[in-house]
Structure 1
Amino acid sequence: MSTTLSILAGLLALGALAMTPSVQKQLLYFPNEPSRALRATPADAGLAYEEARITTSDGETLHAWYIPADTARGVVLMFHGNAGNIGDRVGFARLFHDLGLDTLLVDYRGYGQSTGTPSEAGTYRDAEAAWRYLVETRQLPPARILLHGRSLGGAVAAYLATTVSAAGLVLDSTFTSVPDIAEALYPWLPTQWFVRIRYPTLERLRTLDTPVLVLHARGDEIVPYAHGQRLAEAAAGATLVTLDGSHNTSSEDSAAIYREAMQTFADRVLPASAMQPAAQARRR
C-alpha cells in the first residue's frame, strides 16, 4: 500500500471511529473470529472441569469453566483478549493447574456461548459477575483470587481490581488505554477526541495498591512494549517481565519465562496453604 493510500486508510478509520459507538465496537470486539464455536475444552488438555452459567447484573448469561487443581492454594480469574473465546485459552488453564491454581475461564457477553452484545460497560459488568460467582457462589476468599487479563482482558481485570480486594493483578500484553493505541496508529490526528471506548488501564493503576505483575513482549506489534513499561511504572511496586515473540505468541515463545514469572508472583501474593477444596469437578 502506498503512503497516500495508508494515510487515506487512516483517515477512513478515524472517520469510522468518530461515527458512532456501535461502529467503534465493531472495530474493537471480534467474538466471531474465527467463530463463536468452542474449539477445545479443558478435557482436551486432560483437565477436569465444571460448566458454569453466570448471570450478570443486567440479566445476561455468561458461559464459564471452573477448572480445579489438586490442593490448590488459589484461583486465577482470567479475562481473555478481544477475539476468540474460552475454547482458545485452555493452554492457560493447563499452566495455572500445573502451578497449583484453580482457574475460572469466562466469556464476555456476546462471546462463545454467552448471551448479549459486548461493550465497555458490559465487560465491566461481566467481570463483576465472575467475581461474585467465585466469592458468593463458590465462597472462595478474595485473598486467594488472582486477576489475570490478556490484552483487552488486562483492561477489564484492572477495572475489577479497583473495585474488589484481590490477591494480585497480572497484566499480559495490555494497553494503557484504547485512545493511546489509536494515537500510536495515527499520531497526526486528534484521536483522543474521537475515541469513545476508553478502557483507561494506566489511569486505574495509579491509584491501585494491589500487587501487579506486567508481562509484555518487546516485539509486540499490536500493543507496543512501551505500554507495558508505562503500566509497570504507574503501579507502585509492580514487576515488569519482558517476553520474546509477538502479541499473540509471547506466552508460547517465552513459556519458561512466563511460567517462572507466574510462579514467583503466586509465591509472593498467595498463602502457601491450600484453599478449602471445591466440589469435585466432573470430567466432561
Structure 2
Amino acid sequence: MSGIRWILTCAGCYALYCLLLFLLQRHLIFPSLFVGLPDDPSLPEFVERLWVSVPGAKVEGWFLPSDISKESPRPLVIFAHGNGELIDWWPETFRGLNRRGLHVLLLEYPGYGRSLGKPSQKNIARAFCAAHDLMTQRPDVDASRIILFGRSIGGGVACALASQRSSAALILTSTFTSLHPFARRYLAPSFLLRDPFDNKAVVSSYAGPVLIVHGTHDTVVPYAHGKALAQAARHSRFVAYDADHNDCPPDWEAFFDVLVDFLEQTRVL
C-alpha cells in the first residue's frame, strides 16, 4: 500500500503543478511590464500617437512616418515587440526605416504600459487586426505594401496577424516555431497551453516572402527554431547572426539594409 500511496502522492503533486502552470502561464508569457506609466509620455516630435479600441482592450500605438515622399502613399511596417519590452523603447531604432522610406507602426499589447486589457494571443491579435484595418484606411499608407515584423513573442503576434489580414511580407527575428516545445521544458503537457502561437503552421501556408533572422547562440529560443521556420516557409530568406536572443541583430542599421534589400529583391519595394 505504501507504494500505491507514494504513486498517488506523486500524481497529485504533478496534477497540482500542472494546474498552477495552467493558471499562471499568461503571467509567465506576458509579464505586462510597467503598468501605470504616466498618461502623457514625452514623445519624440516625429511620433504620432493613436489609440486602438477593441472589446476588452484599449491599446496605444505610435506611428512613425516615412521621411521620403510624404505626398504619396508609402509602405508600412507593423512591429510587434518582445514580451519584456514596450513600444517606448523602439522609436529611435526604427527611425532607420523611416529614413529608408517606410512608415512604422509600434503597437502596444493589452495590459502593457498605458494600454488597458489583459494580454493573450486572442486579445493581442484582435488589437493588431484593428490597427491594421485602421492604418490601411490612411491616405499616406500603401495598403498593398503592409509588412509585418515581429521579434521573439512578437513573431507570434505577427504570424497571428498574418493569418487574419493580408500583407506583403513577413519578418521574424528570434522567433519560435510554437510554444509547445517550451511547455515540455516545464515537464507539462502541451495541450495545457492557452496561447500556443503556432508560427510554423502560419509560415508554411503564408504566400508572401518571409525573412527569418536568428542568433546562432540564442539561449531563449534555440537556433533550430529559426531554421525550422525558414524550411517551412514557401519563399524565405534566412539570416543568421553571431548573437544571443536580445542582441539579435547586433547592428540594427546594418540589418535594416538587409531588410530593405530583401524587400527590394522580392519586389515589395
Match of 1:259 in 2: 256
Percentage of matched positions with identical amino acids: 29
Q: TM-score, normalised to structure 2's length?
A: 0.84
Q: TM-score, normalised to structure 1's length?
A: 0.80
- Alpha-carbon deviations, 1:116-143, whole Å to 9, x = none? 1111211110111111111135573332
User: Where do residues 8-19 of structure 1 align in structure 2 (5 Å cutoff)?
Assistant: 16=17, 18-19=19-20
Match of 2:221 in 1: 223
Counterpart contact for 2:96–2:256, Cα < 8 Å: yes
- Alpha-carbon deviations, 1:4-23, whole Å to 9, x = none? xxxxxxxx999655436541
- Alpha-carbon deviations, 1:180-203, whole Å to 9, x = none? 2233x35xx353243332111011
Question: For the residues of structure 2 that align with 1:235 and 1:241, how far apart are their CA atoms?
Answer: 14
Question: For the residues of structure 2 that align with 1:259 and 1:42, how far apart are their CA atoms?
Answer: 23
Match of 2:158 in 1: 157
Higher relative contact order, structure no. (Cα contacts within 8 Å, ≥ 6 residues apart)? 1
Counterpart contact for 1:66–1:104, Cα < 8 Å: yes
- Counterpart of 1:152 in structure 2: which amino acid? I
Counterpart contact for 1:50–1:66, Cα < 8 Å: yes
- Counterpart of 1:260 in structure 2: which amino acid? D
2:252 maps to 1:246: no
Question: For the residues of structure 2 that align with 1:31 and 1:109, how far apart are their CA atoms?
Answer: 8
- Which stretch has the larger CA shift, 129-138 or 166-175? 129-138
- Alpha-carbon deviations, 1:198-218, whole Å to 9, x = none? 111011111111210001101
Match of 2:7 in 1: none
- Counterpart of 2:67 in structure 1: which amino acid? D
Match of 1:94 in 2: 95
Q: Per the alignment, do residues 237 and 36 of structure 1 end up closer, same or farther by CA in structure 2, a change over 3 Å counting?
A: farther
Unaligned runs of 5+ in 1: 1-11, 273-284
Match of 1:282 in 2: none
The alpha carbon displacement at 1:167 in A equals: 1.0
Which aligned segments of 4 or more residues in structure 1 are displaced greater than 6 angstroms? none
| Structure number, greater radius of gyration | 2
The alpha carbon displacement at 1:26 in A equals: 0.8
Unaligned runs of 5+ in 2: 1-12
2:64 maps to 1:67: yes
- Which stretch has the larger CA shift, 173-182 or 64-73? 64-73
Pick from 222, 230, 240 the counterpart of residue 232 of structure 1. Answer: 230
- Alpha-carbon deviations, 1:133-181, whole Å to 9, x = none? 1113557333221100011111111111122221100001111111122
- Counterpart of 1:99 in structure 2: which amino acid? R
Counterpart contact for 1:243–1:254, Cα < 8 Å: no
Match of 2:127 in 1: 126
Counterpart contact for 1:175–1:181, Cα < 8 Å: no
Counterpart contact for 2:207–2:234, Cα < 8 Å: yes
RMSD (Å) for aligned C-alpha atoms: 2.6
State the secondary structure of the residue aligned to 1:170.
strand
